[in-house]
Structure 1
Amino acid sequence: MIGIFSKTIDSNLVEAISYSGLDFMIFDQEHGTLDLTTIQNHVRATKMGGMTSVVRVAENNHNKIGSAFDSGADMVQVPNISSVEQAMKAIDAAKFFPNGNRGVCCYVKAANFGTTEKSIYLSNANSKQLILQVEGKGGMNCIDDILALKGFDVLFIGPYDLSQSLGYPGQVDHPKVVKAIEELAKKVKVSGKVLGTFVDSFDKIKVFKNKGFGYIAYSVDLNLFAGICEKIKKEY
């Protein structure tokens, strides 16, 4: 799967991108200004072009994770997982009984505002995918135990926070950062979880795809738009 991060508050832009053929958009609450009303409109917009909607919540918080799924999002991405306990907390918030303790409301957008039969909604909701981000030394040190957990689907390696954790902030191509990513990637692939990451250059898309990464986020919508505008100006 290939997609992009999104920081726009304009759902028309989201809808336009949904027709591009990209597999997903990640609506970023960690480093963005998106509230739940905007998220819900964005999720609705992705459906127009058949694109998967992902919400990266601001933090590993029970209510925020549940609310993101309530919005109708197909997947939720949780940042900064640095321990087994934090991973278990995210899973618990994302799943209904018997897999977790997500808050139950059958009248949200995800349940078509109560028009979906309750048992069907609750059953289908537990098949929604959860993405955990490991992006620091803490997560690296307990990666085997995190990967052994059931209840999440994608292990996302955050290269920029990882570079900072290793003492090389922003240097995602530093040999020690590259080595750390490769070591994490090997363990994720053995576990059977989907391997994910972020890239911000075109050449890295195929490189990481060939390395077995099945969930690749490329750049950010507003940065891509600014870059195209800059290119137009240069061509003038």
Structure 2
Amino acid sequence: MPAPRNGFKAALRDDRCLLGLWLALGEGYTAEICAGAGFDWVLVDGEHGPNDIRSIMRQVQAIALTGSHAVVRPPVGEDWILKQILDIGAQTVLVPMIESAAQAASVARAVRYAPDGRRGIGAALARASAFNRIPDYLSSADDEICLLVQVESRAGLAALDEILTVEGVDGVFVGPADLAADLGYRGNPGHPAVQETVRAALRKIVAAGKPAGILSSDLALSQSYVALGARFVAIGSDVGILAGGTRRLLEDFRGGMKGEA
């Protein structure tokens, strides 16, 4: 019996457009609620969300009940955390702050077993192998791991052509927020200069035959990215939905009270 099939990776290969949601609340309960809405994928954010390996695991377990696919973003692209994320059962990782082909090649080796990589062999202890109940896990796991790298700086964009040639990179995600800051427009990813750069990067990724990804809570922008060929697009976050929804609820109620007065 081989490792579980990674439907997200297969869909990217088939050039399907996959819609996602960012999860930064750090809770399995809310992860299950959001994933159950029908998103193709949801991202558990270990970079900016209040997560550790145990909270990430609980969210991966909850998402697995819904039919959505869990993507995990580690805080850094270091071997130790990638090893733990894969061992708890995540099959798709989004590694932030990639700025060179050498860095991309390094994380590609970190998520694969020797001789093609250097992922440590601890599958007999891991949820990924159903606790050693998947007899062919070691021989089949690499094929089902999906590595997404995040380019979000001027240095990353300068190296994008080389990053796109790295074997083992299954998709490239453009990070508008950090890119905006690096371009001198901190807090303003919608600035025309930032958007011009973002769109140029997306076009380059698509032209290279790699799946391109991005996050924006601006639905019109997200739709325009899909039109450009982006294939894994997150259209909001759990934090944004909760913060915006609670604010609107209170504003709507207060507005109604004023109308009655």
TM-score surpassing 0.5? yes
Post-superposition shift, 1:124? 2.8
How many residues align? The count is: 235
Aligned to 1:92: 109
User: Which residue in 2 is equivalent to 1:109?
Assistant: 127
CA distance in structure 1 between the aligned counterparts of 2:82 and 2:189, rounded to whole angstroms: 28
1: CA distance between counterparts of 2:82 and 2:20? 21
Give the unaligned 5+ runs of structure 2.
1-17, 254-261
Query: Of 38, 41, 66, which residue of structure 2 is paired with 1:24?
Result: 41
C-alpha distance after superposition, 1:160-213 (max 9, x if no partner) = 111111111122122221221122112111221110011021222211111111
Contact 2:105 2:167 in 1 (8 A): no
Q: Which SS does the other structure have where 2:212 is aligned?
A: strand
| Identical positions, percent | 28
TM score, norm. by length of structure 1: 0.95
Question: Which letter maps to 1:109?
Answer: R
Bigger Cα displacement from structure 2, 146-155 vs 176-185: 176-185
Larger CA deviation: 215-224 vs 119-128: 119-128
Matched AA of 1:230: R
CA distance in 1, matches of 2:103, 2:193: 25
Structure with greater contact order relative to length (CA < 8 Å, sep ≥ 6) = 2
- Structure 1, unaligned stretches of length 5 or more? none
Match of 1:70 in 2: 87
Which of 46, 49, 71 is the aligned partner of 2:63?
46
Question: How much does 1:125 deviate?
Answer: 3.8
CA–CA distance in structure 1, aligned partners of residues 155 and 181 of structure 2? 13
Q: Where does 1:112-127 land on structure 2 (aligned, <5 Å)? A: 112-117=130-135, 119-127=136-144
Assess if the C-alpha contact under 8 Å between 1:72 and 1:110 holds in 2.
yes
- TM-score normalised by length of structure 2: 0.86
Residues 42-91 of structure 1 deviation map (CA, whole Å, 9 limit, x = unaligned):
00101111110011000110111121111111310100001111111111
Partners of 2:139 and 2:58 lie apart in 1 by 22
For the pair shown, which has the larger CA radius of gyration, 1 or 2? Answer: 2
Task: Give, as a single letter, the amino acid of the residue that structure 2 aligns with 1:93.
Answer: A
For 1:220 and 1:90, locate their aligned partners in 2 and report how far apart those are by CA, in whole Å.
26
Which letter maps to 1:114? N
- The one-letter amino acid paired with 2:90 is A
Aligned residue among 13, 16, 19 for 1:2: 19
Aligned with 2:161 (options 126, 137, 144): 144
Please report the RMSD computed on the Cα atoms of aligned residues, expressed in angstroms: 1.4
Q: Which runs of structure 2 are paired with 1:184-223 in the superposition (5 Å)?
A: 184-223=201-240
Q: What is the one-letter code of the residue matched to 1:108?
A: A
Counterpart Cα distance in 1 of 2:130 and 2:199: 42
Structure 1 residue aligned with 2:32: 15
CA distance in 2, matches of 1:179, 1:43: 35
Distance 1:205 1:176 in 2: 17
Give the Å deviation of 1:97.
2.4
* Cα distance in structure 1, aligned partners of 2:192 and 2:115: 43
> CA separation in 2, counterparts of 1:103 and 1:235?
54
Residue 72 of structure 2 corresponds to which residue in structure 1? 55
**SS of structure 2 residue aligned to 1:88:** helix
- Are the aligned partners of 2:91 and 2:144 in contact in 1 as well (CA < 8 Å)? no
Q: Does the Cα contact within 8 Å between 2:215 and 2:222 map onto a contact in 1?
A: no
Does structure 2 retain, via aligned residues, the 8 Å contact 1:18–1:51? yes
The letter of the residue matching 1:84 is A
In the alignment, structure 1 residue 33 sits paired with structure 2 residue 50? yes
Deviation at 1:122, TM superposition (A): 3.8
